[in-house]
Amino acid sequence: MRIAERAKAWWAFALAASAAPTSYLIAMPCGGACAGCPMGGGCFLAYPVLVALAIGAKSVRFGKGLLRRRP
Amino acid sequence: MNAKETLIRNRWRYISFVVGFFLFVAPFALFTRAVYLIVGNTAEPTLHSVCFRMPIDWIFGGRFYSIFGSSWFMAAFVFGVIISSIFLGAAFCGWLCPVGAVSEAISRAVPIPNKFRLRIRDTKLTMSMRYGFLVGFIAVAALVGYKLASDQLGSICCRYCASSVLQNFASALFGDLSAIEYWQSGAIISLLFWLVIGGLFMSGGRGWCLFFCPLGAFSGLAHKLGARLGFYRIEHKPESCNGCNKCQDVCPMWAIKEDHNIERTLCVNCKECVHACDAYKLIRGRKIADS
Ligand code: SF4
Ligand code: SF4
């Protein structure tokens, strides 16, 4: 149990530690203009939206497959 | 607990926050203005004049000399806050900082049911996230400072900043609309993290302070050191505790551990736990813990 708790804390630490460097990398293509563009944070939302769309598309295909297999 | 009760219980702290606003935020910035007047600095003071981030950035980015340059007051302020936390706890965060005050006030004023608000009960987890982010922040400062990465993040850090958002809000409120071009992506993202996710949807409304503010993180470490040395702190007396967990519910910084002792790196000395329960006692002056 203690090991699991420690692992959780270290995992949280690692994730949080990667937050600033990751935002640096994500913002790289925009260079000095990042955060100054009129997208209003759209890029920030784009990643989760893309992942959600990908998962959605997969599940739709999966759903269609299920339907097709029905007698 | 209703809003009126909260207001009465915290009256001195809330008055202090209003004073903090007038002391540090332009167009008033009375404290900074007074110092500038004394030293003959003709610049117009704003909340940026006491930036919570830049002196930390300088130190870890190898630009130590900058703290003696024209922005010496900024460095003196930040180090003053951190050093005072050894003796007074993180009192700046809990009693003066306008950034923490606004998000805390919004969370208290908007009646969202608690089940929609995030609260992490495991203080180790909260601490890991707070200091994890600090380590990442320092790493980027070092990479940029030692020219291992381009310095684009300098501007990014300033854009993703709750203090900047607050200062620009205040300027606009008092008639200075010149910073209108500021209201773009960075400001919107910061606003989202500071007031919506960290304020409205986190119990206590201190999400920004808990996870993103380097000054708060260092003040917490200084308070922990001070408490170890026997200075100002709040102690939990287990013999007076009935295990009702009310203290955990009222603490805006999620600083109360499962055994009801206080995680000092998170505590901002707001004294909500002291008001909520007799098992918490303030230790002033220098007294070494019995245990
Ligand atoms: S943690 Fe930072 S933003 Fe929060 S109260 Fe302290 S100095 Fe202000
Ligand atoms: S432990 Fe007590 S004094 Fe510290 S932040 Fe929580 S409620 Fe405030």
**Overall number of domains in chain A:** 1
For an interface test with A, the pick among B184, B195, B254 (most A C-beta atoms closer than 10 Å) comes out as B184
- Judged against a pLDDT cut of 70, whether residue B172 lies above it is answered with yes
On average, the pLDDT of chain B sits at 91
- Judged against a pLDDT cut of 90, whether residue B32 lies above it is answered with yes
Whose tokens are 């854009």? That residue is B159
Ligand 2, atom 8: nearest CA belongs to which residue?
A: B270
**Residue A28 φ then ψ, to 5°:** -50, -50
| DSSP β-bridge partners for residue B256 | B262
pLDDT digits (tens, 9 = 90+) for A45-54: 776 777 778 7
What number is the average pLDDT over the span B17-24?
98
Residue B284 lies in a domain: no
Between B8 and B284, the higher pLDDT residue: B8
Residue A35 sits at the vertex; the CA angle it makes with A31 and A41, to the nearest 5 degrees, is 125
**B121 Cα–ligand 2 center, Å:** 14
What is the per-residue pLDDT for B151? Answer: 72
What is the per-residue pLDDT for B103? Answer: 97
Q: Which residues of A touch B160 (CB under 8 A)?
A: 23, 35
Ligand 2 contacts CB of residue B255 (under 6 A): yes
Element housing B234 (H / E): strand B233-236
What number is the average pLDDT over the span A3-9?
91
pLDDT digits (tens, 9 = 90+) for B182-237: 677 778 888 889 999 999 999 999 999 999 999 999 999 999 999 999 999 999 99
Percentage of residues of chain B with pLDDT beyond 90: 73
- Judged against a pLDDT cut of 60, whether residue B291 lies above it is answered with no
Residue in A15, A19, A35 nearest the CB of B156: A35
Residue B17 lies in a domain: yes
| DSSP β-bridge partners for residue B202 | B118
What is the per-residue pLDDT for B289? Answer: 56
Q: Which residues of B touch A44 (CB under 8 A)?
A: 185, 189
Element housing B282 (H / E): strand B280-283
What is the per-residue pLDDT for B275? Answer: 94
B26, B30, B32, B33 alpha-carbon torsion, rounded to 10°: 90
On average, the pLDDT of chain A sits at 75
Structural domain range at position B24: 3-231
pLDDT digits (tens, 9 = 90+) for B100-147: 999 999 999 998 998 899 999 999 999 999 999 999 999 988 998 898
- Judged against a pLDDT cut of 90, whether residue B176 lies above it is answered with no
Q: Please state which of the ranges A51-60, B16-25, B131-140, B162-171 shows the lowest mean pLDDT.
A: A51-60
Structural domain range at position A33: 2-67
**Overall number of domains in chain B:** 1
Tokens read off for A17? 């530690």
Whose tokens are 């784009």? That residue is A46
Going from the C-alpha of B178 to that of each of A24, A41, B85, B172, the distances in angstroms are: 28, 22, 36, 8
- Judged against a pLDDT cut of 80, whether residue B158 lies above it is answered with no
CB–CB of B199/B176 below 8 Å?
A: no
**B219 Cα–ligand 1 center, Å:** 9
Residue B63 lies in a domain: yes
| Gap between the Cα atoms of B184 and B6, Å rounded | 35
Distance from CA of B189 to the nearest CA of A (A): 6
